[in-house]
Structure 1
Amino acid sequence: MVVDDHPMWREGVARDLTEAGHEVVASCGEGRQAVRVIGAARPDLVVLDLQLPDISGVQVIRGLRAERPDVRVLMLSASGEQQGVLDAVKAGATGYLLKSAGLAEFLDAVRRTAAGEPVFTPGLAGLVLGEYRRLAAVREQAPDGTPDSAPRLTERETEVLRLVAKGMSYKQIAERLGLSHRTVQNHVQNTLGKLQLHNRVELTRYAIERGLDE
């Protein structure tokens, strides 16, 4: 589903997606309309503008995920303003791409976002990482004052987790470590289970919070 208040831009994005082999199930110019139709349209992924005329993109994300919790959201915005990026990610956006991105970069972001991979315009990635670290510092201790304890991961799981935190795809991780794509998937799934996380976005946040992306 494509949500953008500029008709020419919205139609252009929908056309590019269709020509790339994706099925566009809905196209909306307002946030409230997107929240209303998501239940019937049942998109796997929403390409969403941050600035909409009725409600903010952040409010739309919350509404979309309330109606369809497993939907992936790729923000496509002209703004790289710090607070807007962070608010979108905290609300549940899987990725954030600037409208200045080229077509190939956009289609790659769509593919990766649909697969649950966190995707950010390179200049925004450091901003998001820094915020996660700041939040981690605040949560360094448990509520009772005792240090936060983390489940034990194997050396290989930690290595894979570090590369996930850097935003690498499964294919890239497999090539880097000389493993099969399936083996990398298994390591990620095992790590998700140990950490009681649900997807790669949460896993990335966990890794970043512990400085594993460095």
Structure 2
Amino acid sequence: MLKPNILIADDHPLLLRGLEEFLKERKYNIINTHSDGLSAYNAIIKDKPDIAILDIEMPNLTGVDIAKNCKRHQIDTKIILITLHKEKKFFEDAVKYNIHGYLLKEFALTEIEACIASVSRGEPYFSEKIYKRFTNVSERNSDIEKLTPSEIKILKRIAEEMTSTEIADLLSISVRTVEKHRANIIRKLTLEQKPNALLIWSQKNKQLLL
């Protein structure tokens, strides 16, 4: 399998150079490196790398900003964020904007190859430490068992970012029925009544919906 073309952006020169050298030694194709978010985003638009490894905090545009723009403009480059942050908000942003990889800097060099391999297969990869901190596998498995087959079918479509109208058209049911299912799913999963609550949960737990 061909190794992906990779862009790296980090505003810390030592970290940027260290990661670049580490991956080049392992024969990865590093096509660009950047020290700010705007130049990285412009290069993503121009060169269309398979993967962009981005620091979450950079001048001009953050890694999350770049991910938002890529999602908005349907750019196929897969985003891996590297961060010092362990706060839940950053993790939820990563899920919300379809970020494919999320690594803590302290474990970046030990996890980066596994992350790249997973992302190249189309499978999300989150640092084990951060994933365990904000998820509970046994609890999630128990939650999914509460749902009916119809509710799981709708949850899968929500994970694909389909609207209630699109889901209704696809499944040949009314929008009102979809909304009723959504309300039942939120209740059964004991989620907060927030606009993106189901989207965040479904994308964070895609593996349970397979």
Task: Give the direction of change, closer, same or farther, for the CA distance of 1:147–1:65 in structure 2 (3 Å limit).
Answer: closer
Residue 69, structure 1, aligned to residue 75, structure 2? yes
Match of 1:147 among 181, 191, 198: 181
Match of 1:112 among 97, 107, 118: 118
Task: Give the direction of change, closer, same or farther, for the CA distance of 1:74–1:128 in structure 2 (3 Å limit).
Answer: farther
Which residue of the partner structure matches residue 88 of structure 1? 94
Q: What pairs up with 1:185-204 in 2 under 5 angstroms? A: none
CA shift for structure 1 position 127: 5.2
Determine helix, strand or coil for the equivalent of 1:106: helix
Q: Distance in 1 between matches of 2:203 and 2:96?
A: 14
Cα deviation, 1:107-157, whole Å, max 9, x if unaligned, reads: 211221222211111122245547xx7xx99xx797514336xxxxxxxxx
Q: 1:75, 1:97 within 8 Å by CA — same for their partners in 2?
A: yes
Match of 1:55 among 58, 61, 86: 61
Match of 1:38 among 37, 44, 55: 44
Q: 2:19, 2:109 within 8 Å by CA — same for their partners in 1?
A: no
Cα deviation, 1:151-183, whole Å, max 9, x if unaligned, reads: xxxxxxxxxxxxxxxxxxxxxxxxxxxxxxxxx
Task: Give the direction of change, closer, same or farther, for the CA distance of 1:40–1:84 in structure 2 (3 Å limit).
Answer: same
CA shift for structure 1 position 39: 2.6
CA shift for structure 1 position 69: 2.3
TM-score between both structures, scaled by the size of structure 2: 0.61
Residue 10, structure 1, aligned to residue 16, structure 2? yes
Q: Distance in 1 between matches of 2:23 and 2:74?
A: 21
Task: Give the direction of change, closer, same or farther, for the CA distance of 1:67–1:22 in structure 2 (3 Å limit).
Answer: farther
Report the identity percentage.
25
What is the one-letter code of the residue matched to 1:52? M
RMSD: 2.9
Determine helix, strand or coil for the equivalent of 1:17: helix
Match of 2:129 among 123, 132, 141: 123
Determine helix, strand or coil for the equivalent of 1:146: helix
Q: What pairs up with 1:168-187 in 2 under 5 angstroms? A: none
Task: Give the direction of change, closer, same or farther, for the CA distance of 1:76–1:102 in structure 2 (3 Å limit).
Answer: closer
TM-score between both structures, scaled by the size of structure 1: 0.60
Q: 2:64, 2:93 within 8 Å by CA — same for their partners in 1?
A: yes
Q: Distance in 1 between matches of 2:134 and 2:46?
A: 33
Q: 2:82, 2:108 within 8 Å by CA — same for their partners in 1?
A: no
Q: Distance in 2 between matches of 1:204 and 1:58?
A: 16
Residue 98, structure 1, aligned to residue 132, structure 2? no
Cα deviation, 1:17-51, whole Å, max 9, x if unaligned, reads: 11111110111111111111113222100111111
Cα deviation, 1:179-199, whole Å, max 9, x if unaligned, reads: xxxxxxxxxxxxxxxxxxxxx
Which residue of the partner structure matches residue 151 of structure 1? none
CA shift for structure 1 position 68: 5.8
Task: Give the direction of change, closer, same or farther, for the CA distance of 1:6–1:115 in structure 2 (3 Å limit).
Answer: same
